[in-house]
Structure 1
Amino acid sequence: MSTPNALRPRGLRLLARNEYVTAEAIYGTLLICAVLAAADDEPESEVLITGVAASFVFWFAHAFAITITRRGVVDGRRVGLRGASLDAAYHSAGFLTGPIIPILILTAGTFDVIDGTVAYWAALSSGVAVLVAMGIVAGWELGLRWYRCVLGGIATGLVGLVIITLKAIFD
């Protein structure tokens, strides 16, 4: 089944969707926010190390799984270990790019550039803001009117808040 031409993303919309709004970027952002929510009493340096480590572990696990599943014959062509690994590293990059803003803010708190408590809340808030932005871009890619893009962004942020809250409650 093919997608009608009117629904296919083009130009900047295609770039935004393929590079920035990916499932992996959403997972990465949710992951760092969940680490933050679960560790609100920990020193910023420990939260930073845990968040960065968790991001790399999930990135590696995802890349490994993709490498294994994409190795072999794909669409009639042979894909070797190197090709599958490179594709997997690229495909999984969102686990590392999604949490960049919260990690940078938390780093500023760790090195006393900003107050630790401010850094914690700013990092957590920025993660939710990143989710909102991804929701807006996803709606924009679909060609929705601006207000529907904003509503989609708000809904994405709210779902993120629910997931973060559940993680904090059950941790």
Structure 2
Amino acid sequence: MSSADLAINETQGTPRPPIGLLILGLAISFYLWVLLVTTIPYPGRIGLNYNTLGTDWMVFYGAIRSVLDGNASLIFDGDRFTAFLNSSFAGWLSSPLEFRPWAYPPSFLLMLLPFAPLGFFGSYLAFQAVSGGLMITALRASADGSASSRLLLAMALLCPASAINVIDGQAVFLVAALIVGGLRFLESRPILSGLILGVLTFKPQFCVLVPLALIAAGQWRALWAAGLSALALAVASGLVFGWELWLRWFPLMVENLVNPDAKWIEFGRMWGNSVYTCAVLLGAPQRLASLIQLLATLFAAAAVGLAFRTRLSIREKTAVFLAATVLAAPHSGPYDAMLLVVAAACWLMAEGRSLPAWCWSFVFLIWLVPAISPPVLFAASRLAPALTVALIVLVLRRGPPVTQTSPR
């Protein structure tokens, strides 16, 4: 952020929510964190049945252990891998998992490698602690130590999506850290920015807009650094685990894009929060839902391209990028809505201290979405993509005219 942005922010102060919404938000947050604590002894007793803690981490841990134990082929067979997880964690699960395939590139395995010796529960706790710490560091850096950093941190850490991320053992803390941290250094240290953003390739659905953003900003050094970072991760994973993993992963991903597994659609994608999922649940045929998802992706790409070619502050550009990333993703979960909460917090800070009630009500709806997810169970959350589009438009409307960028 520029010194001018900081001066404006210090003058405006930190936005303060209406007391009623603050109390309601804290109550919902408290409920979700209590749900986390009670999930092991009483799964589903006070809310949605998450089976047990760390069901998604079982996929991550099970994959790295399988590769290290010389059984790498297992992770590319969804049915066999699910059976392996059910057998390995039978004493931890309250009921068998339906279908949990491994769908990530081998570069993610390299990032999981340091956690493998800690055992399942130790690695689960360590990953959440490390990724959460990285996110806190990135958010504090993005706020430049200003008073508004308290709002940003509170909204990110206390939101329902964060609790669900910990319950599932997912990686959205790391995704948020990479996006916020990478964009924080885009103008001041573009090479470092690119190196950080390139790591996002561990979750491909969240990195597709990175090249577009860097090209639109004219940040060519950052673009090359991002490519180098992604390539380094791929090469390192190939050297550590063998190139066969990549040779098997690429065809599998192409097949999933062209002709996705029916079980993945039923037990994976339809339990997510994507535009495609919401469109199907609202009655659209699958082909039309796929078209709507494509249009949403194109809108997200256009929004990022526009945002990064204007003189919006880096905080506002980050807000657009976070929201657009969620909108464009072909699959996302309730935990990924934390990216939207951070985006909404960035928008609030940009708007200033005196905010009308509708702004807080709008942000509260974004905050609430993960608590009433997934859309397959809660009809109200099927309108969440509309909130995401509205957030992007609200940030973009603040932007000054488009400027020409020079190569950097």
Instruction: State the TM bucket, normalised to the shorter chain.
Output: 0.3 to 0.5
Q: Which has the higher contact order (CA 8 A, sep 6+)?
A: 1
Which one has the largest radius of gyration? 2
Query: Could you state the TM-score of these two structures normalised by the residue count of structure 1?
Result: 0.34
Query: Could you state the TM-score of these two structures normalised by the residue count of structure 2?
Result: 0.18
